[in-house]
Amino acid sequence: MRKVALITGITGQDGAYLTRLLLGKGYVVHGIIRRASTFNTERLDDIYRDPHEPEVRLFLHYGDMSDSTVLRRVLRLANPDEVYNLAAQSHVRVSFDQPEYTADTVALGTLRLLEAVREFQQEAGKRVKFYQAGSSEMFGASPPPQNERTPFYPRSPYAVSKVAAHWFAVNYREAYGMFICNGILFNHESPLRGETFVTRKVTRAVGRIVHGLQRKLYMGNLDARRDWGYAGDYVEAMWLMLQQDEPDDYVIATGESHSVRELLDVAFGYVGLDWRDYVEQDPRYFRPTEVDHLLGDATKARKKLGWEPKVRFRELIQMMVEHDLELAARERTLREAGHTVVLPGTATP
């Protein structure tokens, strides 16, 4: 019998990598997607097949973390062995603009799903393993290095909501004996990273500057330090957590931190440019309360899960720059052929 997984947030960066990983392991994968007026399945398009075809193992269902009736219905329909809760309004800066919505999706959304899974387990008479996508943002102002014993000190509506989701998950594990793991993942990036997160914003700009499509890059705080890893490595840790005999919480990180300035050095340096000629600061990209330094200690994951990051910072940024150089080259070709190219995120604040 094939294992069945249900993924919320399947259209996001991690959803796309996790889906590929699970399909590769023989799983049937169900995902919840939001209805939007434009297509939002771009990251899945190359692996999605018409469900009428034989042997299809990826199924998408409309739903939203704010709608518990749909969560219940999709659980019954999918009948999963594992649930990965990745859905979130995941942008820290945006969470200051949309605090209530962020809390609804991230904190209450998790509670709705936990409650739906609890009921589903009783109805179906089976145990479902649950992964909760926690974040290093929960540590916030707690000094580095951070591990599973570091106190949470969240610094944004997003981070506060993730802390609430974390404790909902712990409480459901303790109260109902559910198999729930909190992954506390530090920043992880890839060529599929959303274009308003700092790594991708920089690598996208490098590609466009090289191809003469952009002159300036407006940024926020260049002094912040983050522990940046590769999304492909991190989704493997999610899966490993659910393959253990006992549920537990794990920090997933590389153990190396770099400043945004160093990120600029590596990304622009890769194409022989000096970022100081292009980057300007714009106050709208600063956060009312910033997280200065995140640096994870993933010793527990290494010992218990046998997990280690394979891709390091420089290699990761180079992989992203190479991808975005190619993307910009295609954009230039289209423009030169007289096509109107509308960039995703052009109107994003």
Positions in the binding site for ligand GDR (CB under 6 A)? 90, 92-93, 135-137, 186-187, 196-198, 201, 219-221, 224, 226, 260, 285, 287, 290-291
Q: Of these partners, ligand GDR, ligand NDP, none, which one is at the site of residue 287 (CB under 5 to 8 Å by kind)?
A: ligand GDR
The reply on whether position 13 binds ligand NDP by CB under 6 A is yes
Contact 250, 304 (CB under 8 A): yes
Considering beta carbons, is residue 78 or 88 the nearer one to ligand GDR? 88
- Any idea which residue has 């949309």 for tokens? 98
Q: Is 331 a catalytic residue?
A: no
Residue 94 CB partners (closer than 8 Å, separation 6+): 102, 158
Q: Of these partners, ligand GDR, ligand NDP, none, which one is at the site of residue 64 (CB under 5 to 8 Å by kind)?
A: ligand NDP
- Rounded distance between C-alpha atoms, residue 12 and residue 118, angstroms: 25
Q: Is 48 a catalytic residue?
A: no
Site size with ligand NDP, rule: CB under 6 A: 27
Of 6, 19, 58, 64, the one binding ligand NDP by CB under 6 A: 64
- Of 100, 96, 116, 103, which Cα lies nearest the Cα of 32? 116
The reply on whether position 110 binds ligand NDP by CB under 6 A is no
Query: How many residues appear in the chain?
Result: 349
Single-letter amino acid, residue 27: Y
Residue 47 CB partners (closer than 8 Å, separation 6+): 19, 20, 23, 58
Q: Which of 158, 230, 250, 270 is catalytic?
A: 158
Least distance in Å: CB of 128 to ligand GDR? 24
Binding region for ligand NDP (CB under 6 A) out of 13-21, 74-82, 256-264, 278-286: 13-21
- Rounded distance between C-alpha atoms, residue 236 and residue 217, angstroms: 33
Q: Of these partners, ligand NDP, ligand GDR, none, which one is at the site of residue 260 (CB under 5 to 8 Å by kind)?
A: ligand GDR
Q: Of these partners, ligand NDP, ligand GDR, none, which one is at the site of residue 92 (CB under 5 to 8 Å by kind)?
A: ligand GDR
- Rounded distance between C-alpha atoms, residue 90 and residue 67, angstroms: 18
Least distance in Å: CB of 206 to ligand NDP? 20
Cβ neighbour number for residue 218 with a 10 Å cutoff: 14
Considering beta carbons, is residue 129 or 226 the nearer one to ligand GDR? 226
- Per DSSP, the residues of 23-85 read HHTT-EEEEEE---SS---TTTTTT---TTSTT--EEEEE--TT-HHHHHHHHHHH--SEEEE
- Of 73, 65, 74, which Cα lies nearest the Cα of 31? 74
Element (H, E) at 249: none
Least distance in Å: CB of 187 to ligand GDR? 4
Considering beta carbons, is residue 4 or 16 the nearer one to ligand NDP? 16
Of 68, 89, 121, 142, the one binding ligand NDP by CB under 6 A: 89
Residues recognised as catalytic: 135, 137, 158
Question: Contact positions toward ligand NDP, by CB under 6 A?
Answer: 8-15, 32, 34, 36, 40, 64-66, 86-90, 105, 133, 135, 185, 187-188, 194
